[in-house]
C-alpha cells in the first residue's frame, strides 16, 4: 500500500510541476505579445508626428532677468507645432545670458522675440533646404542668431521681408546663409540699399 501512495504523490508533484511550467510559459508569451502590441500601437499613434526638441523655460523668469543655462531645458514636440520663432537646442547658446523681454513661466517655449541680445548677435536668414535658381518663398528661409563679428552686409537680415519673392540666381545648399549677392537685385529708387 505504501508504494501506491508514493506513486500517486509523485504523479501529483509531476502534474503540479508540468502545470507550473506551462503556466509560466503562457504568462511569458502573453507578456511578450502584450509588450509588442503596445509598441505597435505607440508607433501607429506617432505616425506622421515626428518630434523635434525646442528650448523651454525650466523655471519662471521675469522680464529683465538674464536667461542662464540653469533656467533652460528642452522638450520634444511634434514638428507641426514648431514655428520659426521658437529657439531650438542648436541655437540655445545664442540665447544663454540674453536679457529677457517678456515673462516666461515654467514650460513656456523660449522664442526669439522673448530675448534681446542685439549686442553680441544678429539675426540672419538661412536656407531651410536646397534652393535652386527660381523664386524664393518664405518656406525656403529661417532666421538664426549669428555672432555680429561674423555677419557681413551681404547676409540678409530677417527684418528684410523684401527677400521673399526675389529670384535666386545662385543656388543655396541647406544651412547656407542667404546672401544678397545670390539673389536678383530690384531697381531701387532714391539710393535705397537692399
Per-residue pLDDT tens digits for 130-163: 888 888 777 778 777 777 778 888 888 776 657 7
Number of domains present in the structure of the chain: 3
Residue position matching grid coordinates 535652386: 132
Examine residue 111 and state whether it is found in any structural domain, yes or no: yes
Domain boundary among 116, 136, 161: 116
- Considering 27-41, 100-114, 117-131, 146-160, the range whose residues carry the highest mean pLDDT is 27-41
| Domain hosting residue 126, numbered range | 118-188
Residues 55 and 99 occupy one common structural domain: yes
Q: What is the CA radius of gyration of the chain?
A: 31
Examine residue 143 and state whether it is found in any structural domain, yes or no: yes
Examine residue 181 and state whether it is found in any structural domain, yes or no: yes
Residues 96 and 132 occupy one common structural domain: no
Kindly list the distances between the CA atom of residue 45 and the CA atoms of 37, 42, 48, 72, 75, in Å, as whole numbers in the listed order: 12, 5, 8, 29, 19
Global pTM value = 0.43
Whether 97 has a pLDDT exceeding 60, the answer reads yes
Amino acid at each position: 500500500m505504501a508504494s501506491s501512495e508514493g506513486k500517486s504523490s509523485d504523479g501529483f508533484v509531476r502534474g503540479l510541476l508540468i502545470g507550473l511550467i506551462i503556466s509560466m510559459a503562457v504568462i511569458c508569451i502573453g507578456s511578450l505579445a502584450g509588450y509588442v502590441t503596445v509598441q505597435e500601437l505607440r508607433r501607429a499613434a506617432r505616425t506622421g508626428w515626428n518630434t523635434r526638441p525646442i528650448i523651454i523655460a525650466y523655471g519662471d523668469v521675469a522680464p529683465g532677468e538674464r536667461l542662464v543655462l540653469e533656467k533652460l531645458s528642452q522638450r520634444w514636440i511634434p514638428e507641426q507645432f514648431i514655428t520659426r520663432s521658437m529657439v531650438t537646442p542648436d541655437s540655445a547658446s545664442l540665447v544663454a545670458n540674453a536679457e529677457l523681454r517678456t515673462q516666461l513661466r515654467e514650460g513656456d517655449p523660449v522664442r526669439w522675440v522673448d530675448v534681446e541680445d542685439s549686442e553680441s548677435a544678429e539675426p540672419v536668414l538661412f536656407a531651410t533646404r536646397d534652393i535652386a535658381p527660381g523664386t524664393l518663398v518664405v518656406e525656403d528661409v529661417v532666421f538664426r542668431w549669428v555672432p555680429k563679428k561674423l555677419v557681413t552686409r551681404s547676409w540678409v537680415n530677417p527684418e528684410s521681408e523684401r527677400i521673399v519673392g526675389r529670384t535666386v540666381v545662385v543656388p543655396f545648399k541647406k544651412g547656407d546663409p542667404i546672401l544678397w549677392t545670390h539673389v536678383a537685385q530690384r531697381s531701387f529708387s532714391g539710393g535705397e540699399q537692399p
